[in-house]
Structure 1
Amino acid sequence: MRRSPFRSSPRLWRRGAPTALALTALTLTTAPATAAPTDPGGHCARLTHLRVPGAELQQAACLDELTTAGTVATGHTGHTGHTGHTDPADWAGLTPKDLAVPSGVPGIQIDGYFPDTSTTNTNHGWNHDAQFVLRMPDRWNGGLVVAGTPGNREQYANDRAVADRVLAQGYAYAATDKGNTGLAFHRDGKAPGDAIAEWNDRVTQLTRAARATIAQRYHRPPSRTLVTGLSNAGYLVRWQLENHPELYDGGVDWEGTLWRADGPNLLDFLPKALRAYPVYAAGGDGAEEARRQMHAAGFPEGSEFLWPYHHKVYWDLTQRIYREELDPGFDGATEAGTPYCATGTPACDTDYDYATRPDEVRQAVARIALTGRIGKPLITLHGTLDALLPISQDSDVYARMVREAGRGFLHRYYRIEGGTHTDSLVDAFPGRLRPLTPCHHTAFTALENWLRTGHRPPASGTVALRAGQDSVTLANSCSLDTGKAPGVSS
């Protein structure tokens, strides 16, 4: 695919104009227009006057319900792709089945896209990347929450985990597909690292555009702007607060991916798992040594029951597609390697050794790397049984980076005992895991209090898993009490 025009011209978006259950109004625009003053009160007020700066296309709808309690019903999937106001396939597997669904949030939803040349996102039949969704409730609390998407999913991926709750609290909500989607995201851009670098730019672009659009509807900009997300979107939270703290008041990072040019990063530990796990799974004389190698690579003791699933679903695929994005020369003309190749196979990702790769590979990673130099308050959550991004190789390291950068007073870090990377696995392994979704909700509230009153959240540390909690309680409540007195730094 050709390189995104936003990647080659980061200020492209500024060239625009100034600043659910029942579908009652619909507008489709492809060109900017000047907003006329009108009464901001009432259901879906100013719908026809709203323009998202820089959007190449936007589609605005007045909905009686902005949460998934309604948006699932106001859309459908057809031969042109998903055309509604959310897509359950986009958020499948990210939340526990017993998570409550709030409702009673009428307002305006705007779907659209910014100029881009890649075409992996098929939502609405647009076949166009840089798609976004912006939701503005009638009863607004003055805030805006911005999110990228986890994995390589599209703009509705956070609708159950994040959007439902913040909308019910009165926040406006905006999310982006990050500018490229799907398992072949690495085809976007011209140089190694281009596709991931675009993710960061697209979040910045959407934040600015969403703030301007909100000012059109409510006659004032947001009083606070928060950024949040999980996995790859957690990485985006970290990057935004390091590089654009002027746009945000704070953020919640849910097990964000760690990229460092000198490691650790996933290109370090995933090949080690691909080598050691088959030996462990086979049993026999080498199994115990292979298990020790898995632990040494960062995969936590006690997570062994999760290894078969991650070997089948995550480790091989993740290694190959991210290695292709950052080190395409490793396997020559082959695209994203050979699935599940045995050690010793030429150009096999099982034998990948990041430490011995040419300097240009580390230079590609350096383009997207994190520094720990956050400029606004950040709360980080990570499960102690994460078997995709092991906590010792990710958030433990990032918390240390923040402290070493002298920004520990802006950070709280909670290690969630029994949490793993994907909350749907809580349902697959009842009694052995806890979901992080309710912990994210609690962290979000703690961030709000921190910003509003200056009351610091509980001290950083490990949040113990209390025994005997039923699945509904686990899915909907989480205390961040670490048993320590709150301090001034992590």
Structure 2
Amino acid sequence: MAGDCYGGGMEKLPVLPVATLALTLLCAACAAHGPARGPGRAMTESPMAFESVRATVHRGDDDLLTAGLGLDGLRAPTPPAFADETKPTPAELRRRAIWSNWRGIADLSPGGGYGDVYGSVASVPGREFAAYASVPGATHPHRVLLQVPDGFDAGKRCLVVAASSGSRGVYGAIAVGGAWGLPKGCAVAYTDKGAGTDYFDLDAGLGVGVDGRVGQLDAGGLAFAPDQPAGAGGIAVKHAHSKDNPESDWGRHVLQAAGFALAMLDEAFPEAAPFTFENTRVIATGISNGGGAVLRAAEIDDGRLDAVVAGEPNVQVEGYGSRALYDYATEAALWMPCALLHLEGLPQPPLAAQVAPSWSQRCAVLAGSGVVEGADTAARAKAAYDHLRARGWTDEALRAGVLSAGFDLWRAVAVTYASAYGRYGVGQHPCGYSFAAQAADGSPRKATDTERAAWWADGSGIPPGAGIGIVDAKRAAPDPDLPGLQCLRALWDGGSAGADRVRRGIAETRASAPREGLPVVVVHGADDGLLPMGFTSTPYVAMAREAGRDVRYWQVRHAQHFDAFLGLPDYASRYVPLLPYVYAALDRVSAHLEAGAPMPADAVVAAVPRGAGMPLRAGSLAIPP
């Protein structure tokens, strides 16, 4: 599969041997060439090997940023079709993955402002280099990808390194780093952070290769091939089943992607080589888990990064009111459905009439267990609400959190992360969860060829989705999800060996202060209901500043976590997108690095939602100067 091109008429580039790449990276910082850099840059690099390197060209109707879809194609409600649904080509998979990841991150709806008020979907021709990279000690690789626009300025030498949000595949930051960097002529490197959509079908013995196509285990070259106990069936998910606790290595994933980018720039522009960390300006960025990843890179950076911009980061520190994602996700999964019944005027969807019966049942079960008090649903909901408020949840976070409660996202996060933190493999989940294709009644079944072929392009890295569901062996009336959720919660606050194991994994993910002198900007929505800034960014900034680091902080009022859901009318009327602030922070940091402009000041941004039926206007964003 290595070295294949994405269709007819494209230039075929050579496969690059691993030994050459290791040598290239070993020497990457040995000599300076191009713009002079400031003090503290890395002068030596450890050798790194990359496998299954694949180089492809993307011009004409297949560009880097939108795979030729443009804004209209990205807005299409159905994904780009496969000519053969069971055997899509690499070009078709790439186009569909780009469509899926744009739509999962950005608000592309008419009136939402993308492409005219902020952001770009310009056609950017160029080349891509893809490979597997391995962190020392990990049993499975992570994907790295470099996009090099034809307009890359070898004299300017601008590189953006972007980490995927959530558990998305390697294109999971294209709407963040790619949309900002590619139209400016910067090369953009990506990493899937050891998660991604490289699902493995345990029943069929099939996984995913470097080009996204399904392949046999015995053929080699798969991105993820888990240990498979005898008789195990269903679907293995890399984030959950790799046994690597990838979150503990997020920072290394980012820095490896940067190293891969320099090696590929040497291959792309041999006349301008070597590209080094001394002569190439490197900005790391990401949102959500990607934001957490670049902050983790900042703490272990030895001079390879010039700046970091983190949007709504999933980051945890010791103290300062910080809380681990697993802690508040399992808490929310249990308590939030009941607590939300206390609040009026919640964003829709979910439709109140649909969720109220099950949420009322949760209140009743919690009361029957002595967890909450109250003679009726209203009193119980008030008690659950008071509990969450006492634990640091704001009304703004609770209101926006209705989306995660209504769409079962809290459980999805807890199931996958419990397995990842505990380094559990297939069939080892301490609460008995597994993943599989499901029949209409929820029972597990074998996946079809058509479903399997689309996983890499359509998945988000965390089931449910893309035809894969969560199988819960503990389901029982009257509240079917509750027994499993209580088990997941006990892995945080219980005394079992499994809880100790999960908590050890969580401890491995705590962040510390960024490298001294590294410019860092953190951007977070004040209404974030998935990663509340009071548990994440605010404690991180306090910790970093107490350590003497100059971290700038933008808090955006009326911004929640999911820009993509602003396509829903009620969300569009209430909230502003966060991406324009991330782009603006990247603009400010770039101006600081290139022209010595001041770093942006701290800001509490008084953004104004556009209101029902109104288009987004630039002035309502109130972007800081």
TM-score category (smaller protein): 0.7 to 0.9
RMSD in angstroms over aligned alpha carbons?
A: 3.7
Return the structure number with greater relative CO, CA threshold 8 A, min gap 6.
2
Cα deviation digits, residues 312-369 of structure 1 (max 9, x gap): 2321211222122224789736247757866566952245544867655443223221
| Partner Cα distance (2:8, 2:616) in 1 | 30
Structure 1 residues 407-448: Cα deviation after superposition (integer angstroms, max 9, x where no partner): 1x2x11111111111101222212100101111110000111
Please list the CA deviations of residues 37-87 of structure 1 after superposition, one character each: whole Å capped at 9, or x if unmatched: xxxxxxxxxxxxxxx9733222222222322162789x9755356723441
Q: 1:294 aligns with which of 363, 388, 405?
A: 388
Q: Does 1:332 align with 2:332?
A: no
- Report the Cα distance in structure 2 between the residues aligned to 1:316 and 1:31, rounded to whole angstroms: 43
1:348 aligns with 2:487: yes
1:179-190 equivalent positions in 2, closer than 5 A = 179-182=194-197, 184-190=237-243
Question: Paired residue for 2:602?
Answer: 460
Q: Match for residue 6 of structure 1?
A: none
What's the counterpart of residue 228 of structure 1? 285
Deviation at 1:259, TM superposition (A): 2.9
Tell me the equivalent position of 1:451.
593
For residues 34 and 347 of structure 1, do their structure 2 counterparts lie closer, same or farther at Cα, with a shift above 3 Å needed?
Answer: closer
Amino acid at match of 2:143: Q
Q: Which letter does structure 1 place at the counterpart of 2:13?
A: T
Query: In structure 2, which of residues 252, 258, 261 is the aligned counterpart of residue 210 of structure 1?
Result: 261
**What secondary structure does 2:282 align onto?**
strand
Alignment of 1:414-433 (within 5 A): 414-428=554-568, 429-433=571-575
In structure 2, the partner of 1:322 is 417
587, 596, 617: which one aligns with 1:473:
617
Aligned-partner SS, 1:68: coil
Q: Relative to structure 1, is the Cα distance of residues 333 and 288 closer, same or farther in structure 2, using a 3 angstrom cutoff?
A: closer
Structure with max Cα Rg? 2
- Name the amino acid aligned to 2:292: Y
Determine whether 1:275 maps to 2:416.
no
TM-score by length of 2: 0.62
Q: How does 1:342-381 map to 2 (within 5 A)?
A: 348-350=487-489, 353-354=492-493, 361-375=502-516, 376-381=518-523
- TM-score, with length taken from structure 1: 0.78
Assess, with a 3 A threshold, how the Cα gap between structure 1 residues 364 and 234 changes in structure 2: closer, same or farther.
same
Counterpart in the other structure of 1:125:
none
1:194 & 1:473 partners in 2: Cα distance?
A: 42
CA distance in 1, matches of 2:89, 2:620: 29
- Alpha-carbon displacement from aligned partner over 1:295-325 (angstroms, at most 9, x marks no partner): 3333321344433321123212112221222
Asked if residue 112 in structure 1 is aligned to residue 131 in structure 2, the reply is yes
| 3-state secondary structure, aligned to 2:573 | coil
User: Which residue of 168, 182, 192 corresponds with 1:167?
Assistant: 182
Deviations 1:72-131 (A, max 9, x none): 89x9755356723441223432101142143242222223334699xx9xxxxxxx9522
Unaligned runs of 5+ in 2: 1-5, 22-46, 74-79, 198-235, 342-359, 361-376, 435-471
Question: Partner letter of residue 515 of structure 2?
Answer: I
Letter in 2 for 1:109: E
2:10 maps to 1:24: yes
| Partner AA of 1:146 in structure 2 | V
1:157 Cα deviation from its structure 2 partner: 1.4
Aligned partners of 1:69 and 1:103 also within 8 Å: no
Name whichever of 456-465 and 470-479 sits farther off: 470-479
Work out whether residues 112 and 131 of structure 1, in 8 Å CA contact, stay in contact via their aligned partners in 2.
yes
Contact 2:176 2:286 in 1 (8 A): no
Deviation at 1:402, TM superposition (A): 0.6
* Shift of residue 284, structure 1, vs aligned partner: 1.8
What secondary structure, in the 3-state scheme, does the structure 1 residue paired with 2:284 have? strand
C-alpha separation in 2, matches of 1:451 and 1:53: 28
Separation (CA, whole Å) in 2 of partners of 1:413 and 1:355: 35
Residue pair 2:189, 2:261 contacting (<8 A) in 1 also: yes
Answer yes or no: is the 8 Å Cα contact 2:241–2:423 preserved in 1: no
How many residues end up aligned between the 2 structures? 435
Asked if 2 retains the 8 angstrom alpha-carbon contact of 1:147 and 1:176, the reply is yes
Task: In structure 2, give the amino acid aligned to 1:246.
Answer: G
Deviates more, 1:155-164 or 1:193-202: 193-202
For 1:471, the aligned partner's letter is P
Measure, in 2, the Cα distance between the counterparts of 1:80 and 1:56. Answer: 24
**Which residue identity lines up with residue 60 of structure 1 in the other structure?**
A
Aligned residue for 2:403, secondary structure, equals: helix
Distance 1:373 1:63, change over 3 A: closer
One-letter amino acid matched to 2:432 = T
- Uncovered stretches (5+) of structure 1, i.e. residues with no partner: 1-19, 36-51, 121-127, 482-490
Distance 1:362 1:227, change over 3 A: same
Give the share of equivalent positions with the same residue, in percent.
22
1:143 aligns with 2:202: no
Give the alignment partner of residue 79 of structure 1, picking from 86, 89, 95. Answer: 86
CA distance in 2, matches of 1:58, 1:76: 27
**2: CA distance between counterparts of 1:157 and 1:455?**
30
CA contact (8 A) 1:107 1:137 kept: yes
How far apart in 1 are the matches of 2:620 and 2:58?
26
Structure 2 SS opposite 1:446: helix
> How much has 1:216 moved relative to structure 2?
3.5
Range with greater deviation from structure 2 (467-476 or 258-267) = 467-476
Instruction: Indicate how the Cα distance of structure 1 residues 76 and 200 shifts in structure 2: closer, same or farther if over 3 A, else same.
Output: farther
**Structure-2 change in CA distance of 1:334 and 1:343 (3 Å):** closer
Amino acid paired to 1:325? A
Contact 2:513/2:544, CA 8 A, preserved across alignment: yes
